[in-house]
A and B are shown apart, each in its own frame.
Chain A
Amino acid sequence: MMRVSKAMLAVVVLAWLGALPASFAWETAGQGETTQSGPQTVTEQQIRDGVAWFNRMQQALRHQNFNASMVQVQGQRVELFSWLHGRTDEGTELELLYSLNGPDSYLVRQDQQVSYFHPMISPYSMQSRALFGPIPSAFYEAYSEIERSYSAVAMGGGRVLDRPAKHVRLIPRDQQRFSYSLWLDRESGMLLRMATVAPNGDVLELVQLTSLELSAEVPSDLMKMHNSPMPPVIRDPNVDSSIEHEWRQTWLPEGFMQVRANHHRLPMTGIAADYFLYSDGLTRVSVYVSQDPRASTSIQYEGLESLYTHRHRDFSVTVVGRLPMETLQRIAASVAR
């Protein structure tokens, strides 16, 4: 299986280069150079390197012992976190994310159990392979998980956090979603900086480490936390409720697959909806189909996470996710009975 996928890689890469929209050859396209593939065109080598760097980052996030602080910027808002990770001699992964601004919330992960602590809520745990934090959970998995939707392209280098860094871009196959710029520590492969970029070039979110201590040992605080009693794992409240009507999603950007479907009521408003969650391996989009008249109010909300409601004849579709507004609108309009 592994050998097949490796052999396939080159083929996939070549096919993808052909599939990349013209704008991805951005370095030369502006000058109208069509024949000469200068050093700035995306080459097969860049993609091979990009994949290797992505997987190196994934390994670092799973195996490296570190004590870091991290800043997250969305628009004019800035959040600061302390972020610790380690792997014990027994192979147990420990991770802690602690917010330094605002309410003191903690996210603690021990292997596949994540516990959430926040002053305003009663603590709880969930089964999950990654924290629900600023770093996309896809970064904790191999590149093959996002391969269908993004290609990893090694770009230039730079200096980030006073360290030599490698710039890798995750370029979507189409213009229907955001791209990502990653700066990885050349020495360890650690993620140092991440930008989420809209198709028009706007930077929607920036996450950057502001300090990083790599160590041979698991940070001692993580060890002390290890084996502490944690709150109970919650049960999925929607697991037994299947959708009520057969809806057809007639269009989705390529690479999106359904990962969840149920029927449930929304918090606060109690609106009942058939619910579908689609993933392209990296980003996820929620589709709510409801016949509640309140859900037919046309609202549109644009940010990193956007929302759009489309009113059909006798039902309404609300789409929420980290995708460009045009994509959300198209998804919402593409639901049929």
Chain B
Amino acid sequence: MTEHQNEKLSALVDGEQDRDTMQALVENASHRERWFRYQLASAVVRGDAVAGHRFDISAAVAAEIAKSPVHAPASSSLLSAMQRWLRRSSWMRPAASMAVAASVAVVTVVAVQQLQTPEDVINPAPQGRSVTTLETMPMGGVVNPVSFNTVHSPTEQQDVGLERRLLQSFMMDHQQQLQLSQQQEAEALEAELKGSPDQPEPGTQ
């Protein structure tokens, strides 16, 4: 399937309501669906369907909308919860300057699951490749299952632990650096707006 057809298909998935495009795509879309079903079926047989295959994302949204109240949730509870937060004074203690560090538990691996099905044993992937699924938990965000491919022998269980820690370590740090860079930029912009920053950047003179 070519790139531009995929582009059109994603427009369809996204619900863009362009009749001509839709009609022109019906045939290709049916191809794609057939292909997708096939992929999914084989994934289920292999046992890795949970490892990140995207089911119909629109259906997931529709289901969530059906569940959620028509209006934004009554936010009096929200506010009281917020005020409870503010009344807790733990943060009034001197701020942890180590900051975001452990605090923003942005990415927390909550589960690791080895997917080693009989079929994999019968028909092993090259180089003893096995699929591990893990879930990450961004702060206030989505818990995201993904397929995690590493090259290792299925018997080296301790490696999974190391890789998981490594992955978590990098992912968490990445999120922290992103947040810190937002602060860095906001400060830089503020300094720029003030005209002459008190402390010029080293090397700019």
Contact = CB atoms under 8 A, between A and B. Distances in A.
Nearest to A201: B6
B105 interface: yes
A181 B73 contact: no
Interface string A134-164: 1001000000000000000001111110000
Contacts of B45: none
B57 A203 contact: yes
A127 B183 contact: yes
A132 B8 contact: no
B96 interface: yes
B7 A79 contact: no
A288 B176 CA distance: 14
Contacts of B172: 266-268
Contacts of A68: 72
Interface residues on A, range: 35 or more
Contacts of A301: 146, 148-149, 167, 171
Contacts of B142: 72-74, 77-79
Given A75-B52, A80-B68, A126-B179, A320 B174 contact: yes
Contacts of B96: 122, 124, 234
Nearest to A107: B140
Nearest to A202: B54
Contact of A195 (B3, B10, B148, B168): B10
Interface of A: 23, 25-27, 29-30, 40, 67-69, 71-82, 84, 97-100, 102-108, 112, 116-118, 120-124, 126-130, 132-134, 137, 155-160, 167, 175, 181, 193, 195, 197, 199-203, 206, 208, 210-211, 213, 219, 221, 224-225, 228-229, 231-239, 259-260, 264, 266-269, 271, 275, 277, 279, 284, 286, 288, 294-295, 297-305, 307, 318, 320-321
21 contacts: A23-B2, A69-B69, A76-B60, A76-B145, A80-B68, A104-B81, A122-B103, A123-B85, A126-B179, A128-B183, A211-B69, A219-B75, A224-B79, A237-B98, A237-B101, A260-B177, A266-B169, A267-B172, A301-B149, A301-B167, A320-B171
